[in-house]
Chain A
Amino acid sequence: MSADDAVAEMPRPASATELFFAFNRLALQGFGGVLPVAQRELVERRRWLTKTQFVEILSLGQVLPGPNVVNLALMLGDRFFGLRGALAALGGMLAAPLVIVLALTVAYAELARIAIVAGALRGMGAVAAGLILATAIKLMSTLRASLLGPWLAAAFALVTFVTVALLRLPLIWVVVGLGGLAIAIAWRRLR
């Protein structure tokens, strides 16, 4: 990589503790998703990563199973301090938000009888569904450039929806069967 010299001069966390608190800080700012905050904190504010490195780590995190931002924390921590760094970043990302969300869950169980609270969460649930559908719609444009061809890619997306949402087939068969077929077709076309 030609940017290696620049990388050597970039700031880096002084310790695993600093890593822990950096991820703690960015996780606590992430209402409705952490990714936009992670980009601002890690690339623009702390400059631990260049924009290109951020996208590279993220796209690798997206290929891997597991939550994208959690994978990002693991890989970045591992890069700086090995396993210790990976666990520090992961802990920083999850510990405080986990306590908060479980406290809210317990409080909600007590408060659900109050109509306003139950109603507010109903409203937030409808919005949560909308946010997920909007993400799906944004990503649909990537199907147009798919190596499978737009129609075949759209067909795979549609069959996935039907088998999982309407027929309620176990996900493992859908991913192994349908996913395996799609990967095999992509493999042949990539030659």
Chain B
Amino acid sequence: MSAFHPALPVADLLGLFGHFLMLSLLAVGGAITTAPDMHRYVVAEHGWITGAQFTSSIALAQAAPGPNVLFVAVIGWNVAGPLGALATMAGTLLPSTALTLFVSRWGARRRETRGVRAFTTGLTPLTIGLLVATGWLLVRPYVRDQSHAVGAIVLVGVAIVGMLKTKLSPMWFVGLGALVGGLGWI
């Protein structure tokens, strides 16, 4: 990641803002479920950052304290510096904030209505499919880099099993990842 960002044309900044604005409204089940589409937009379609930069942006946000949604700001920063972070964060927060305030006043008592239940029931499988897609896209750069593939797959496996079988805080696994990676094992 270079500290110096090529100035992104205003049209591209607006496009970035607009895309995250749209994704915000699709982010049922958390912002992370839209990560595959962010990846498609900033990595595959525009080539503003690499797949490895995308993965490390999410890793950095998870390692730091605070809500994981901040990975959105890190991606924006890596694409276009402060203005990029502003574009992605504002795009992500504005629509969902407005909608949440509206719904919490209007719909808190309608949780059990047929419409709301059909909405949740129908979208739950999509949320799960999107989470698996996110995990898969994050693992892919490691698997492609064949010199480190085995170590990375073992580390992913340890994190999965550890989260499912123990009650340890995710912080410990993130720390383990930093140690193993810092020692150059993956």
Contact = CB atoms under 8 A, between A and B. Distances in A.
B50 interface: no
Interface residues on A, range: 35 or more
Interface string B158-186: 11101110000111011011111111111
A130 B122 contact: no
A24 to B, nearest CB: 10
Interface in A137-162: 137-140, 142-143, 146-148, 153-161
B70 A101 contact: yes
Interface residues on B, range: 35 or more
A49 interface: no
Contact of B159 (A134, A136, A148, A183): A134
Interface in A101-152: 101-102, 104-106, 108-110, 112, 115-117, 119-140, 142-143, 146-148
Contacts of A56: 111
Interface of B is mostly: helix
Interface centre among B78, B95, B132, B136 (most CB of A within 10 A): B132
Contacts of B178: 120-121, 123-124
Contacts, number: 383
A132 to B, nearest CB: 4
B105 A78 contact: yes
A160 B34 CA distance: 12
Interface of A: 27-34, 36, 56, 59-71, 74-75, 78-79, 83, 86, 90, 93-94, 96-98, 100-102, 104-106, 108-110, 112, 115-117, 119-140, 142-143, 146-148, 153-161, 164-165, 168, 170-172, 174-175, 178-179, 181-187, 190-191
